[in-house]
Every structure is written in C-alpha cells, then in structure tokens.
Structure 1
Amino acid sequence: MRGWWQDLTDLVLPGECGGCGRPRAVLCAQCRAVLSAAAVSRVRPVPEPPGLPVVHAAARYADEVRATLLAHKERGALALAAPLGVALAGAVMAGLQGASASVGAGMVSSRWSGAPVLLVPVPSGRRAVRARGHDPARRIALAAAGRLRGSGIPARVLGVLRQKRAVADQSRLNSSQRQGNLAGALAVAPGAARLLCEGPVVLVDDVMTTGASLAEAARAVRAAGPISNAGWTAAVYEGETWESREEQNVGSTRERTGRRPGRPGIAGAGGAGGVVDVVCAAVVAASPESFQINRN
C-alpha cells in the first residue's frame, strides 16, 4: 500500500507523463490534448447488457488515454486524477444535457432545480483497493465533482455502492461471462438509499468495455426503490460526513463548509415521492467499438 509520502512525491515531483512517459510531467500537453480533443460521445457496447443506462464517454480507450488510465489505476499516479476528472466532468455534462433534451427541459428544470448532481462511482473490489491503495473510480469522481462545481453545477459524490460478494477477475471474460460474474454483486449500503433521492443520479466509472459493471450498478441503485422522506435530514448529514472524509483526500474544501442541500419538499430534492432516478452514466473512456453507436 502507498504511503502518504509517495502521494506527496507524485504531486510535487512527477516522474513521467502518464500517457507517453515523457519525463517531468504529470500529463504532457500532447497527452492532455488527446484526452480532451475528441468531442464527448454517447457510447453503446455490442452486445448491450440489459438495464444499461445511456452512457457518454470522453475518449476512446486506446493509446495515450489507455496508458494514462492504467498509470492512475495500477501504478498509483494519483496526480492524474485531476485531468481525468476534467474529462469525466465533460461526459457527465453531456449526459445531463442529453437527458434534459429527451424528457423536456421544463420537466428537468422543475424537478432538479437547486439539486446537486449525484455522482455514484462503480466501486472496485476490496482486494483491488487494498492492492492499489486507492479506489480509482471514486478518486476520479471526486475530481470531476470539483470541476463541475467550479463550472457552477452543484455536484456531490456518493460512494454508496458496495460489493455483496467477491467476483472473479474480469480481464479474460467475455460480455456474457462478465454479466454472469457481476449479477447481483452490488448493493446500496444500508441506510444510504435515501441519499440517492437528493438529485439526479449519474453513475460514473473510469472505463467501460462491455458495460456489465455499469448495468449492475444501475440495477443496484434502482433496486433501492422509492424512498420516503422520513429521516431525510439525518441521512443528508451522514452523507456529508462520508463525503467530507473523501474530499479531504483530493484537497477540496467546499464540501466541508457545512453547506447542506435544501430541505425535503423543495423542488429537485428528490422528485415525486423520493424515487431514485438513474439519469445516465458517464466514463472517462470506452472501447473504440462502442463509439460506433449509429452502426447498422
């Protein structure tokens, strides 16, 4: 597991570019351009797993982008979370805009007015987190939330998904095998479901290949079901405590100011009846084939 001094060394004295290996850069200008050059696109794997929400991706999972994500995930280049978070924030905004267009801007504004966008990361397994020393998707999500807030979009990270059971390594599994491997593997943490009613839920991850992880995450969130507003205020305070601890890891202070979302009954604070709503999903990168959404 990484020590705090290793994290500090990465931030102050970056060894090499995470994308191309060029020395003395966290992510060089050329690799930053590759990460953000392509327009954010809707992506869809084939075959598409049942229950997969609409997914937007910032870049293709190849070359420099793939190297950057692997450097962050597997080699602990934690400073890369910032540029990766910028890319993820772009995908989140594209997904929200698409959702607004699909159901009508008036309906969206009346339901979500003043509510924070809730970024729900797909969790890594406990063994993987221990081995890596961090949860990559959650760290990138926190950076993306900071970026969204800086753009005037209220956003929070809710790390409420938990693995109910161990799953096999998916690197050698095909699409159907991944779906079977993950079926029923995730659940919303006890007592956390009501937090998902505070605003539009956007599932986030670093990479999408087959879509099995996002589909299972969507199933778990939807399974939380309609939530009453009883006990809502206490749950919000508890959620702020969870997030405050996480935000300290990436240096953000805004979520530690004591600011709380609106009270129950305010438009956008949970929708009709406090129903959990998975609006869309967003990832930093997706397999190149999934960008061919208009194929016959």
Structure 2
Amino acid sequence: MTSTPAPPAPVRRPVSDALLDAAAVLLPVRCAGCSVPDRSVCTACARSLAPHVRTRTVAGIAVCSAFDYDGVPRAVLLAYKDAGRVDAAPALAGALRAAVAGVEVSVSVGAGGGVRDRVVPVLIPSTRAAWRRRGYHPTGMVLSRSRILDPPLWRALRLTRQTADQAGLSSTDRERNREGSIVASGRLSGRRCLIVDDILTTGATLAEAARAITAAGGMVVGAATIAQTPRHR
C-alpha cells in the first residue's frame, strides 16, 4: 500500500459560514459524524474527513481511497447511506475528488485525445432493494457534488441478478455473491473507464465490475472510492 500527500483542506469563506450558521439556527440539525447540534458536519468532524489518499491493488487495478472506513468517516458514511442524511454528501465530495485525483496522477488521465480518449466514470449499480430504500444512488450523488470528470454514463453497468447484501459476508462469499452478477453496456467499448464506488472492502465488487467492462471492450484505468476498510494482518 502506498500513500500520497493529502491536498490542503478547502478554505471556508466568511459569508458561507454565516449562511450555514443562520441555517443551523432556523433548521437545527445534528452532525452526521458525532450527533452534536451543529451543521450537517461539524468543524471537528470536517477535519476528520480531510482526505489522506491511499492506494492498493485489487485484481490488478489501482484503487485510490480517500480515508479508512473507521471513526468519523464511517459514522458519516453510515448516516449518509442508511439514515437519509443526504445533507452530508457535500462533506464527502471533497474526499472522492481527492481519490479520483490520485488515480488521475497514477495513470496520466486526460492527456490529449478526443472524447473517446477521456476517462468516463462508471458507477457500481445499486440493487433494486437499495434503490427503493434510499431513492438515490449514494455514490452518484457524491460524484455529482465533486464536480470532476465527465458525468457517468447512466446504466453503463447493470445487475444481471439481485445479489445479497455484502455486509457480513466473508471474502469467499462476497466473491461468490458478485460472480457473474454485472454486465456492461456496449457503449463502454473502446472507452477508458474509472470505476467509482463508496467503500472498498474485499474488492469483489470492483473485480466483477472490471471483468464486465473488459468483456464489453472497455479498458479499466483504475478505481476510486471514498473509503476503504482497514486491512488487518
């Protein structure tokens, strides 16, 4: 595993801070990270969300992740994905932007060429159950807030069958659960693709997505995730 220096944290403007403070008074919320009465993400938790990009290889693919899935990042991601805290998406957008930038540096993305030479973001598809529960694609929403790259091709990847929830499954079971479950659109043929997901765990989902993209004639240049689960020896 290698690491790249974290980019400087964005500087908040006084006017923006004042507007956020006023909104917090009129529409009180609790921090998605620590639950204290504050903004969507309080100042202390925002510091914990400062990206420190790490790269690890999964099935031959360089995967850049903004931080470990632990502590405040884990709390904010859980609140965002499972508790409807879509207001936390902007706080995660900077992390995903940093992860994508890490991949861009490693593969020299966007060097010359036309439209088909540019990297296209490819999102891991949600199951029908997850879509019904949330009503939105969590990674897609964060990606749109990050204002990077071209917009993803809608339904570039789709599920051929509804898989079980990966949470709680062993590495072997995750591979079996995902095996042959994703198909890629022919629109990816000849395109350079960057797989984008929220959390990297064992890499089974990314490996299956890469297989599908390659089978459709696309080329995977890397992957970016908001977080990765810490690996234990």
1:18 & 1:213 partners in 2: Cα distance?
27
TM superposition shift of 1:91: 0.3
Aligned-partner Cα distance in 1 for 2:41–2:207: 31
1:246 alignment counterpart = none
Aligned mates of 1:98, 1:219 — CA distance in 2: 21
Q: Which residue of 1 is the match for residue 225 of structure 2?
A: 283
TM-score in terms of structure 2 length: 0.80
CA contact (8 A) 1:122 1:217 kept: yes
Aligned in 2, Cα 1:142/1:52: closer, same or farther, shift over 3 Å?
farther
Aligned residues: 209
1:28 pairs, out of 34, 42, 49, with 42
Report the Cα offset of residue 213 of structure 1.
Answer: 0.9
How big is each residue's C-alpha offset from its partner over 1:117-174, in whole Å with a ceiling of 9 and x where there is no partner? Answer: 3111111101111012222122122222x1x2xxxxx422223111110111221211
Deviation at 1:43, TM superposition (A): 2.6
Alignment gaps of 5+ in structure 1: 1-8, 149-153, 226-275
Q: In proportion to residue count, which structure has more helix?
A: 1
Secondary structure (helix, strand or coil) at the match of 1:109 reads coil
Task: Write the distance in 2 (CA, Å) between the matches of 1:85 and 1:14.
Answer: 22
The two structures, once aligned, show a CA RMSD in angstroms of 2.6
1:157 aligned onto 2:152: yes
Q: Once the two structures are aligned, what percentage of the paired residues are identical?
A: 36
1:61 is displaced (CA, Å) by 0.3
In structure 2, the residue corresponding to 1:210 is in which secondary structure? coil
How far apart are 1:110 and its partner, in Å? 3.9
Matches within 5 A, 1:165-244: 165-188=161-184, 192-195=185-188, 197=190, 200-225=192-217
* Contact 1:119 1:141 (C-alpha < 8 Å) held by counterparts: no
Q: 1:173 to 1:42 in 2, by over 3 A?
A: same
Quote the offset at 1:52 in angstroms. 5.0
Q: Deviations over 1:66-124 (max 9, x none)?
A: 01001110011112111212111110111111112xxxx9xx72446895431111111
Cα deviation per residue 1:21-63 (whole Å; 9 max; x = unaligned)?
Answer: 1213111121111111x5211034xxx5xx3521000001001
Which of 1, 4, 15 is the aligned partner of 2:29? 15
**What runs of 5+ residues in structure 2 fail to find an aligned partner?**
1-22
Structure having the higher strand fraction is 2
Separation in 1 of the partners of 2:135 and 2:111? 40
Point out which structure has higher relative CO (alpha carbons under 8 A, 6+ apart): 1
